[in-house]
A and B are shown apart, each in its own frame.
Chain A
Amino acid sequence: MPKIFAVIGLGTFGSAVALELARRGYEVFACDRDPDKIEELGSELANAVELDATDEKSLQDAGLDEVDTALVSFGDSIADSLLVTMLLKGLGVKEVVVKVADERHARLVKRIGADRVIFPERDMAIRLVENILSPDIFDFIELSEEYSLVEIAARKKMLGRKLADLHLRKRFGVNVIAIRSKVPVVNKKGVPDIEEKINIAPGAEDEIREGDTLVILGRDQDIERVKKL
């Protein structure tokens, strides 16, 4: 049976999540206590209702106990976020994902049973800093305190060489888990263009070409050494 989702709190983040789930064909129950937000999204979300999620009975009446995964996305009130998380777990929602505003909020929701905590502002800020400081780092995901996944522009020294010949694992202890390439094409109008292709789990014989971006997994200090190449 396909998963049923709920999004509680339809600010910028919550509504983007709800709309994306709906676009992908999932059943999404979306609610907010602000009627204007419901009106705004009503035409795009079949199941958007005005509801005070801090009221247990309202949640029950709305059928929230049928939901597999719920996102609690309150921007302004930590107290409401905690209460709703607790109520949803009490109703038996299998997975409750909570968007948090700061570390203290994260610690508290984890303690009361949130299955997953997300911190989009902080994550985005870290990515932005990484990108501003190193313009050839296109994306960055911190996997743990020590390990990251980064997208890094292929260094000049790498161009024209096979992945095996770079010995990145041996020399730096990092793994290339994908290569994104900018492949030239001629479009329907006969105009040159570039398409992006991704090679997941590239082989030893794959050659690094101009415009390639390497998706590298490794320890932060080792990734720093690759960046200096």
Chain B
Amino acid sequence: MNDNPRQERFKELLEKAEFYILNQKYSEAVKILKQAIATDDESPHAHYLYALALEGSNEQEKAKQHFRRVLELDPEHAEAKTHLDRLIGE
């Protein structure tokens, strides 16, 4: 993303989503992260946070899809691997 205001907005959305996740407000984080991903669909971190928030909201199927997306974008993403393994095994 070269567009600075968009980049700024994206960063803000991720920070806000992290805040919600860390306060166990997973469904609030899900709403924010939908917007973040609409802004940039290629960010492994955004997909990771989205998957995490979905898992936190007990939306396991959607969480798996986004952990998979993280691994497409970053095959070495250790946290995504761990979560996906656990969810598939459940």
Contact = CB atoms under 8 A, between A and B. Distances in A.
Interface of A: 135-136, 138, 153-154, 182-184, 186-187, 191-194, 209-211, 213
B24 A211 contact: yes
A154 B57 CA distance: 10
A-B complex: 8 closest residue pairs judged by Cβ atoms: A153-B58, A211-B56, A184-B22, A210-B26, A182-B56, A192-B21, A192-B18, A184-B21
B81 to A, nearest CB: 13
Contacts of B23: 184
Tell me what chain A mostly uses at the interface: helix, strand, loop, or mixed.
strand
- Most-contacted residue by chain B among A187, A194, A213 (CB, 10 A): A194
B63 to A, nearest CB: 10
B52 A210 contact: no
Interface residues on B, range: 20 to 34
A191 B55 CA distance: 16
A182 B49 CA distance: 14
B90 A210 contact: no
Contact of A182 (B55, B61, B90): B55
Contacts of B60: 135
B24 A192 contact: no
B90 A192 contact: no
B74 interface: no
Given A211-B57, A213-B58, A194 B52 contact: yes
Contact of B24 (A135, A136, A210): A210
A135 B56 contact: no
Interface in B30-79: 48-49, 52, 55-58, 60-61, 79
